[in-house]
């Protein structure tokens, strides 16, 4: 049992892909403008608002690079691929200098031609298959492998002198031969070494898996064998100063997706799992809000990512996004009703996922800071256009932690 924590607290609540553009179906309003959301509007009215470029103006942010920026880390410096964050997100221990990959269990024929990129969407037995390749030693490199959900997994290469600038082994289409990984720059010896190791790992994974009992049983029942592992998205694990050390925090993360959990874990945050948080539109956001309040008893900062708005944006479902925003509004209401008096809430998005784009765009997102003593402005509504007249004007995501920690009065003074 950790000690109860006194003093100011901070919550960074991120609606994934919450920002949008005007939608004809909604009368040229954005989903935030069209939604009935009294609690978000209260937060905006009582808080200080602005518009925010998660990474920089016009940059189309991924969720991982954006969350790095929102937490105060420069993604241009520390991000070479999603592999390390993906691996951390499924609970693998990723260390500085490791090269990590996302992987698929795949089906190939005897000629190494991919016949099913997802091995018949395998759902069972991947733990045993993973055990058959995990810990493999190739040259002076240890290959750590862990299964994730369905046909997915992650590979971490640990050893001296590895680079991450290599091409993928996954041909990304069926009917094509497994690719040989190559260094993008032939003079890059570190990446050449990684490519060599990866090619051997792929070959050895086939040798270890093709006659594995799990695959024999799959074939006997007419299913496709998961007989090879194809890594992609190589990333060099960066050295990052833990967030608690940088900002004087005791921090935790309530999130739904492995990718966000991976970023949070990588910067040293404690991961709080909420079983009812599904990452979909059926997620239980009140359960997440309760977890935030509970976590703040012994932590002073919680990052929470709610995935639903991004799902609706990718699916181009305007009314679904509006409805989900209204559910998220109830979550905001729960937080407003249950936080201690000395708590600050920053409400924002990690990027826009406009209905009309069906993907992440470079449009800025609304942000509001709420809590005791904030300089209230004239903004009354939390949406993309209302907030532009707020006191924060236009800021970048990398300023959030500075603003929050100075409101919390836990930031050290710069200078005398």
Rg of the chain, C-alpha, whole Å: 23
Based on CB atoms, which residue is closest to Zn ion, 310 or 377?
310
Count CA atoms closer than 13 A to 60's CA, side-chain side. Answer: 7
Stretch that binds Zn ion, among 214-222, 235-243, 261-269, 342-350 (CB under 5 A): 342-350
Stretch that binds Zn ion, among 13-21, 200-208, 225-233, 407-415 (CB under 5 A): 13-21
Q: Measured between alpha carbons, how far is 348 from 364 in angstroms, rounded to an integer?
A: 10
Q: Does 16 bind Zn ion (CB under 5 A)?
A: yes
Token pair for 386? 């209302």
Backbone phi, psi, residue 370, to 5°? -130, 140
> Are residues 64 and 265 in contact, defined by beta-carbon separation less than 8 angstroms?
no
What is the crossing angle of helices 213-220 and 126-133, to 10°? 140
> Are residues 157 and 94 in contact, defined by beta-carbon separation less than 8 angstroms?
no
Q: Measured between alpha carbons, how far is 166 from 160 in angstroms, rounded to an integer?
A: 17
Size of the residue set binding Zn ion (CB under 5 A) = 4
Residue 67's H or E segment, with its range, is helix 63-70
Stretch that binds Zn ion, among 9-17, 227-235, 248-256, 269-277 (CB under 5 A): 9-17
Name the DSSP letter for residue 57.
Answer: T
Shortest Å, Cβ 311 to Zn ion: 8
Stretch that binds Zn ion, among 40-48, 81-89, 104-112, 349-357 (CB under 5 A): 349-357
Shortest Å, Cβ 353 to Zn ion: 5
Backbone phi, psi, residue 330, to 5°? -65, -35
> Are residues 104 and 230 in contact, defined by beta-carbon separation less than 8 angstroms?
yes
Shortest Å, Cβ 338 to Zn ion: 26
Shortest Å, Cβ 49 to Zn ion: 21
Give me the DSSP letters along 235-300: EEPP----HHHHHT--EEEE-SSHHHHHHHHHTTPEEE--TT--SSTT--HHHHHHHHHHHTTS-S
Q: Is 415 exposed, middle or buried (0-12, 13-18, 19+ CB in 10 A)?
A: exposed
Count CA atoms closer than 13 A to 395's CA, side-chain side. Answer: 24
Residue selected from 63, 80, 148, 348 as contacting Zn ion according to rule CB under 5 A: 63
Q: Measured between alpha carbons, how far is 60 from 333 in angstroms, rounded to an integer?
A: 30
Shortest Å, Cβ 9 to Zn ion: 24
Shortest Å, Cβ 89 to Zn ion: 14
Binding mask 277-316 for Zn ion (x = CB under 5 A): ---------------------------------x------
Shortest Å, Cβ 19 to Zn ion: 10
Residue selected from 53, 350, 377, 384 as contacting Zn ion according to rule CB under 5 A: 350
Stretch that binds Zn ion, among 63-71, 263-271, 330-338, 365-373 (CB under 5 A): 63-71
Stretch that binds Zn ion, among 62-70, 96-104, 137-145, 220-228 (CB under 5 A): 62-70
Shortest Å, Cβ 68 to Zn ion: 12
Which stretches does DSSP call E strand in 39-128?
48-53, 99-108, 114-116
Token pair for 121? 């969407």
Shortest Å, Cβ 124 to Zn ion: 28
Based on CB atoms, which residue is closest to Zn ion, 225 or 233?
233
Based on CB atoms, which residue is closest to Zn ion, 121 or 358?
358
Residue nearest to Zn ion (CB): 63
Binding mask 108-127 for Zn ion (x = CB under 5 A): --------------------
Buried b (16+ CB within 10 A) or exposed e, 297-322: eebbbbbbbbbbbbbbbeebbbebbb
Based on CB atoms, which residue is closest to Zn ion, 63 or 205?
63
Shortest Å, Cβ 416 to Zn ion: 40
Based on CB atoms, which residue is closest to Zn ion, 116 or 350?
350
Based on CB atoms, which residue is closest to Zn ion, 66 or 104?
66
Token pair for 36? 């009935």
Stretch that binds Zn ion, among 37-45, 146-154, 337-345, 347-355 (CB under 5 A): 347-355
Stretch that binds Zn ion, among 15-23, 26-34, 70-78, 378-386 (CB under 5 A): 15-23
Q: Which residues bind Zn ion (CB under 5 A)?
A: 16, 63, 310, 350
């Amino acid at each position: 049992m950790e000690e109860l924590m006194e003093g100011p607290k901070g919550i960074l609540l991120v609606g994934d892909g919450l920002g949008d553009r005007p939608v004809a179906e909604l009368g040229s309003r954005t989903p935030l403008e069209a939604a009935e959301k009294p609690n978000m509007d209260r937060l905006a009215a009582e808080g200080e608002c602005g518009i925010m470029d998660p990474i920089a103006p016009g940059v189309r942010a991924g969720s991982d690079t954006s969350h790095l920026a929102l937490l105060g880390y420069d993604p241009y410096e520390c991000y070479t691929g999603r592999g390390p964050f993906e691996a951390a997100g499924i609970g693998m221990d990723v260390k500085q200098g490791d090269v990590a990959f996302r992987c698929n269990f795949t089906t190939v024929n005897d000629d190494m031609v991919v016949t099913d990129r997802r091995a018949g969407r395998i759902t069972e037995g991947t733990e045993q298959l993973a055990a058959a390749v995990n810990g493999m030693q190739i040259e002076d490199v240890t290959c750590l492998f862990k299964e994730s959900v369905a046909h997915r997994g992650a590979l971490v290469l640990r050893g001296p002198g590895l680079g991450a600038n290599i091409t993928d082994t996954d041909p990304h289409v069926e009917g094509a031969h497994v690719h040989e990984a190559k260094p993008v720059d032939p003079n890059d010896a570190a990446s050449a070494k990684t490519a060599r190791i990866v090619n051997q790992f792929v070959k050895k994974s086939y040798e270890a898996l093709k006659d594995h009992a799990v695959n024999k049983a799959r074939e006997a029942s007419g299913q496709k064998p998961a007989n090879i592992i194809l890594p992609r998205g190589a990333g060099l694990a960066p050295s990052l100063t833990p967030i608690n050390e940088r900002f004087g925090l005791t921090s935790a993360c309530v999130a739904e997706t492995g990718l966000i959990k991976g970023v949070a874990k990588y910067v040293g945050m404690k991961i709080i799992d909420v079983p009812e948080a599904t990452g979909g539109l059926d997620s239980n956001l009140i359960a997440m809000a309760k977890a935030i309040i509970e976590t703040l008893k012994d932590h002073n900062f919680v990052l929470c990512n709610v995935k639903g708005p991004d799902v609706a944006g990718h699916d181009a479902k305007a009314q679904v996004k509006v409805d989900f925003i209204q559910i998220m509004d109830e979550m905001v209401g729960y937080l407003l009703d249950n936080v201690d008096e000395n708590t600050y809430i920053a409400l924002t998005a990690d990027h826009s996922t406009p209905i009309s784009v069906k993907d992440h765009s470079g449009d800025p997102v609304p942000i509001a800071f709420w809590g005791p003593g904030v300089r209230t402005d004239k903004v009354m509504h939390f949406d993309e256009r209302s907030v532009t007249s707020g006191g924060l004007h236009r800021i970048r995501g990398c300023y959030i932690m500075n603003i929050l920690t100075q409101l919390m009065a836990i930031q050290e003074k710069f200078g005398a």
